[in-house]
Amino acid sequence: MKRVYNFSAGPAVLPEEVLKEAADEMMDYKGSGMSVMEMSHRSKVYDNIIKEAEADLRELMNIPDNYKVLFLQGGASQFFAEVPMNMMKNKKAGYIVTGQWAKKAYQEAKIFGEAVELASSADKTFSYIPDCSDLAITDDMDYVYICENNTIYGTKYKELPNTKGKDLVADVSSCFLSEPVDVSKYAVIYGGVQKNVGPAGCVIAIIREDLITDEVLPGTPTMLKWKVQADADSLYNTPPCYTIYICGKVFKWLKKMGGLEAMKKLNEKKAAILYDYLDESKLFKGTVEKESRSLMNVPFVTGNEELDAKFVKEAKEAGFENLKGHRTVGGMRASIYNAMPIEGVEALVKFMKEFESKNLKENA
Ligand SMILES: *Cc1c(COP(=O)(O)O)cnc(C)c1O
């Protein structure tokens, strides 16, 4: 068996320990005589799996009792619509556009009401987080929306926007569980799990209880009403059972690793190895303003497209997969999520140094 270092932005690397455990339980989950893939979502044994996953997540994130945890389908992209459908009572909301995912959410909201662009970093190819200390937030806005970590451009909010008392909704798909968060500062925190938590197929949404009501926009499909999902404890219909089971294992792994405080330290250490090298390299450079750098997604370029392509190709041959940048931005991107071991980042930087010394010489 050969495992590569997988720097994919998503679906992404999972902890090996979790994969091994899942393999061990594949044919017979805890004496049930069947795989988790084969069991009823209404069975006692599955009920324990989903309940335990929620309990572990609540413990990890220190989720207050007045927040519900929902396990949903449709990806983060469907949730872009669920936010206005469930929250746009006044049909008006503010959006901060810091990249492609924020922009898609903003455009989706326009289907349902007036979405106002409060700030944007499009002027510099989304390479920074705009100043959000004094935005033009009006009293009639139902909420303020951000994408907290921009997977494609590699930026992250270091401070939450001043929402002037309005509810904050955050897409945390690519920084979920990468560091501690104060849940009470948000009205809704949500993300697709396939970046930093588990396999594709599930969105976890942490929603303040008072926002879960029957008062939704007319035409909202039953499945997309948070109240319906909350009343059924995420079992209104068949949930993505296996994905939730793996997420539960990842939560246990995170607890064993020391929780989110420890993950933050580790993630900072991993990111520093890469950023420090990018800052001193004569060939590679990071594309993001220093104050806005993500700990999870690190885009970089050589400034020469051919050399970028050569790097991606040679890196792949050396066992470093998925380093090509997003198709809309080019260059390279290393996603170094929780499950990427520090050895993977060290090995990548070593390889980059070798590539630099070879290619600087050849270009001289
Ligand atoms: C990947 C991603 C999405 C889209 O997720 P899907 O589950 O594929 O819809 C949305 N937001 C962010 C921040 C992402 O990284």
Tell me the CA–centroid distance for residue 260 and ligand 1, in Å. 22
> Which of 103, 94, 175 is CA-nearest to residue 136?
94
Tell me the CA–centroid distance for residue 8 and ligand 1, in Å. 13
List C-alpha distances in Å: 150 to 26, 39, 96, 129, 153: 35, 36, 12, 10, 6
pLDDT, position 363: 59
pLDDT, position 329: 82
The pLDDT profile of the chain, 364 residues, written as one tens digit per residue, is 889 999 999 999 999 999 999 999 999 999 999 999 999 999 999 999 999 999 999 999 999 999 999 999 999 999 999 999 999 999 999 999 999 999 999 999 999 999 999 999 999 999 999 999 999 999 999 999 999 999 999 999 999 999 999 999 999 999 999 999 999 999 999 999 999 999 999 999 999 999 999 999 999 999 999 999 999 999 999 999 999 999 999 999 999 999 999 999 999 999 999 999 999 999 999 999 999 999 999 999 999 999 999 999 999 999 999 999 998 788 999 999 999 999 999 999 999 999 999 998 665 5
Please tell me the residue having the least CA distance from ligand 1 atom 13: 173
pLDDT, position 142: 98
Amino acid (one-letter) located at 135: L
Whether residue 55 contacts residue 251, with contact meaning beta carbons closer than 8 Å, is answered with no
- What is d(CA 186, CA 168) in angstroms, rounded to the nearest whole number? 5
| Pocket flag, ligand 1, residue 173 (CB < 6 Å) | yes
Q: What are the chain's domains?
A: 17-256 (3.40.640.10), 259-362 (3.90.1150.10)
Tell me the CA–centroid distance for residue 192 and ligand 1, in Å. 6
pLDDT, position 328: 78
| Pocket flag, ligand 1, residue 195 (CB < 6 Å) | yes
pLDDT, position 327: 81
| Pocket flag, ligand 1, residue 171 (CB < 6 Å) | yes
Candidate from 77, 79, 149 with most ligand 1 atoms within 8 A of CB, to mutate: 77
- DSSP bridge partners of 115: 93
Tell me the CA–centroid distance for residue 43 and ligand 1, in Å. 31
User: What global pTM score does this model have?
Assistant: 0.97
Whether residue 136 contacts residue 130, with contact meaning beta carbons closer than 8 Å, is answered with no
pLDDT, position 2: 87
Q: Please name the helix (run of DSSP H) or strand (run of DSSP E) that holds residue 67, with its range, or none.
A: strand 67-72
* Residues marked as catalytic: 101, 171, 195
Whether residue 107 contacts residue 114, with contact meaning beta carbons closer than 8 Å, is answered with no
pLDDT, position 289: 97
Strands 297-301 and 332-335: antiparallel
pLDDT, position 220: 98
- DSSP bridge partners of 155: 150, 293
Which atom of ligand 1 is found nearest the CA of 75? 7
